Amino acid sequence: MLELYGTKLPSRLLLGTAQYPSPAILADAVKASGASAVTVSLRREMAGGGRGGEKFWSLIQSLRLHVLPNTAGCHSVKEAVTTAKMAREIFGTNWIKLEVIGNHDTLQPDVFGLVEAARILCGDGFAVFPYTTDDLVVAERLLGMGCKVLMPWCAPIGSALGPVNVTALRSMRGHFPDVPLIVDAGIGRPSHAALVMELGFDAVLLNTAVARAAEPVGMARAFGKAVDAGREAYRSGLLEPRDVAVPSTPTIGQAVFQ
């Protein structure tokens, strides 16, 4: 079972809660996916204002899942730290998915700001889930600051490109065999989710591919199955690809023509 900061989660899929056509479809999609945790943007909820925010929060609570508030939309250390502290008050959890965005076009993390914000928040008792790149040095720094989980991207948020650098992801898995690694952002298809799970990643967090699908509930179900399939394949020992043919049918006993 997946264990994050001492909490056991039955599913290895975490879902975002933005961009769904309606609150009812969001709830049905989350249920169909089997996800055991959802991430929620404090900024988005506050932007919604008043009753809208309250209604959304009631809906999330009714799902009875683990809530992972995030600092989506924060572009500086100060903004991210302030948002995290507000999220802790509002959502009653010390979990925080830490995003410090460094570039408007790619939404890639500002890894320098991320490390600094992680230092402050870990020191303040938060369980920090940093949204980061696949850079090993940055990963080391984040672990050094007290992060016990890493969330590398596989492509820019919302791009649906899927793993653009499989070699880097494989290398990250190899370097940190004991750290829970959750691929976050850029997953576009269930096959992408299955692929990263086959690489040995511990979980997947995604949003856009489900929320913007023509049928979000069906797509959520498909992602749930893909994550489970990828995990089971990884645990069952995948074959290494070979350049030469290896007969799958025994040759012993075959007639020999001279």
Quote the distance between the C-alpha of residue 125 and its chain's center: 22
Q: Which of 184, 194, 196, 234 binds ligand DXP (CB under 6 A)?
A: 184
What whole-number distance in Å separates Cα of residue 54 and Cα of residue 225? 32
Q: Candidates 59-67, 112-120, 140-148, 205-213: pick the segment binding ligand DXP (CB under 6 A).
A: 205-213
Catalytic residue IDs: 97
Q: How far is the CB of 224 from ligand DXP (least distance, A)?
A: 15
Q: Is 185 in the site for ligand DXP (CB under 6 A)?
A: yes
Write the CB contacts of 210 (distance below 8 Å, at least 6 apart in sequence): 15, 16, 29, 33, 216, 219, 220, 223
From residue 194, alpha-carbon distances to 203, 222, 225 in Å are 10, 10, 9
Only one of the segments 29-37, 45-53, 181-189, 230-238 lies at the binding site for ligand DXP (rule: CB under 6 A); that segment is 181-189
In whole angstroms, the minimum distance from the beta carbon of 120 to ligand DXP comes to 20
Scan residues 139-178 and list those touching ligand DXP (CB under 6 A): 157-158
CB count within 10 Å of CB 165 equals 15
Strand partners, 13: 204
Identify the residue among 9, 32, 67, 72 touching ligand DXP (CB under 6 A): 72
Contact between 226 and ligand DXP (CB under 6 A)?
A: no
Question: Minimal CB distance to ligand DXP: which residue?
Answer: 16
Q: Does 195 bind ligand DXP (CB under 6 A)?
A: no
Give the residue, chosen from 11, 39, 71, 132, that forms a contact with ligand DXP under the rule CB under 6 A.
Answer: 39
Q: Is 8 helix (H, G, I), strand (E, B) or coil?
A: strand
Asked if 208 interacts with ligand DXP (CB under 6 A), we say: yes
Helices marked H in 103-157 — which ranges?
111-123, 136-145
Helix 190-198 × helix 216-236 angle, to 10°: 20
Residue closer to ligand DXP by CB (options 39, 77) is 39
Shortest Cβ 179–ligand DXP spacing (Å): 19
> In sequence order, which residues have a C-beta less than 8 Å from that of residue 46 and are 6 or more positions away?
53
Tell me which residues touch ligand DXP (CB under 6 A).
Answer: 16, 39, 70, 72, 97, 131, 157-158, 184-187, 206-209
